[in-house]
Amino acid sequence: MMVPKLRFTGFNEPWSETSLGKISSFITSGSRDWAQYYSDCGDKFIRMTNLVRDGITLNLSDLKFVRLPENSNEGKRTALQHHDILISITAELGKLGWVPDGLGTAYINQHTALVRPNLSIASSKFIANLLSTKKYNNILNQQNDAGAKSGLNLSTIKNFGFYAPNKIEQAKIADFLSSVDEKISLLNKLYDLLCQYKKGMMQKIFSQEVRFKDDSGDEFPEWKEVELKEIASKVNTKNRDNSVNAVLTNSATQGIVKQESYFEREIVTESNLTGYYVVKTGDFVYNPRISSTAPVGPIKMNELTQGVMSPLYTVFRFEKGLLKFYQYFFESSVWHDYMKSVANSGARHDRMNISGADFFGLPVPQPFEAEQTKIANFLSALDDKIAVKKAELDKLKTWKQGLLQQMFV
């Protein structure tokens, strides 16, 4: 008899087997060619970026907008409604989103399936939470249809099977999990506010809108501005003897990480490493690849271990100044305008093309060292608060995932 380990009192019936097709009134996916309708404002366009792996709440921090012609058939077919469930069906399979009340007019593209449960027989939020459990999310990922690229077709979505109780018990479970989601959402907002505050303070500090005072309450001397080459030098040491085999990469969001953990596999073998740069802890690395989070490419300090990095990266080492101060300087965006001004306009659209001379001509601040320390300590304290809030958030998400495993079959 299929019953969950954890159950509300008063419910004793076994759960029955069903499928998304059986409990839904409508299942479809978006179409291609939405780029022609992109706009700076208008209706929301929900993409795979807005779906999540660790829950069902849409991530609306990076939204695109569209303006459709009146009476567009495509718009009518793919317009989202409250209670719809969204599933990514290409590349990152099984990312999810549940459409809340008040989202407004919104559409999807071909990378997302829309599942519209029949609300007379099923709770959409129960179904969405069920799909977010590790068990069913793993099954979704294993449903990859044959072909050159990973993907799920609509018949696979319709035939996707699971166990569910009657609608009353579904609603009870969904209501309880909604209260948990509200707590997660509140913690998420507090975490985001701390991150935004830190980002804003970095901009004010490094543009000198905010200045610190010394321990006596007096003003620090004016900042000097120097070129990067005056206080740092390029690292040219190659791994000629193959003595270093930890391959590192520079991620805009994660910083310097081991390549095998970032890509979940080794990209290069030891025999390829002789031309790679040896990077020590405390060295800084510029990755010219641009992204939404690093519009001119990230510069990160290696805090991990000695390793080697691709010659596509620029590695440099500070000879003067507090490393932590410059680590935070490169987290800010005050240096971005210079990089854009010296980049080769004919370069590939996904990476910056900057000469070595121009890169090391980057203007960087050189405050009095005691002020560098005060700035670094202030921002480090903010990082500590952010880390505590992130740990609280992760703990609550882990607790919810444990509940899900016990509340679903």
Using one digit for the tens of pLDDT, what is the confidence trace for 14-36? 999 999 999 999 999 988 888 88
In whole numbers, what is the pLDDT of the chain averaged over residues? Answer: 92
Domain stop point among 117, 136, 166? 166
Identify whether residues 245 and 140 lie together within a single domain: no
| Same-domain check for residues 162 and 269 | no
Q: What is the pLDDT of residues 161-206, one digit of tens each?
A: 999 999 999 999 999 999 999 999 999 999 999 999 999 999 999 9
In a domain, 204, yes or no: no
- Tens-digit pLDDT profile for residues 294-327: 999 999 999 999 999 999 999 999 999 999 999 9
Q: Give the per-residue pLDDT at 76.
A: 81
Torsion of CA 372, 374, 376, 377, to 10 degrees: 160
Burial class (CB in 10 A: 0-12, 13-18, 19+), 408: buried
> How many domains does the chain fold into?
2
Residue 78 placed within a domain: yes
Same domain, 160 and 267: no
Element spanning 31, H or E: none
Do 120 and 246 lie in one domain? The reply is: no
CA distances for 376 relative to 24, 134, 209, 405, angstroms: 55, 40, 16, 43
pLDDT at 224 exceeding the cut of 80: yes
Q: Same domain for 130 and 252?
A: no
Examine the pLDDT at 261 and tell me if it is beyond 80. Answer: no
- Indicate if the pLDDT at residue 77 is higher than 90: no
Same domain, 38 and 160: yes
With respect to residue 134, please indicate whether it lies within any of the assigned structural domains. yes
CATH code of the domain containing 271: 3.90.220.20
- Asked if residue 137 is part of any domain, the answer here is yes
pLDDT band at residue 148, thresholds of 50, 70 and 90?
A: very low
Name residues whose C-beta falls within 8 Å of residue 177's C-beta, 6 or more positions apart in sequence: 125, 129, 400, 403, 404, 407
Are 154 and 58 members of one domain? Answer: yes
Residue 305, domain extent? 224-363
Question: What SS3 class is residue 160?
Answer: coil
Whether 174 is covered by a domain: the verdict is no
- End-of-domain residue from the set 150, 166, 182: 166
Statement to judge: residues 93 and 228 lie in one domain:
no
Q: Token digits for 337?
A: 């305008």
124, 142, 166 - which closes a domain: 166
Whether residue 159 is found in the same domain as residue 228: no
Instruction: Give residue 260's pLDDT band: very low, low, confident or very high (50, 70, 90).
Output: confident
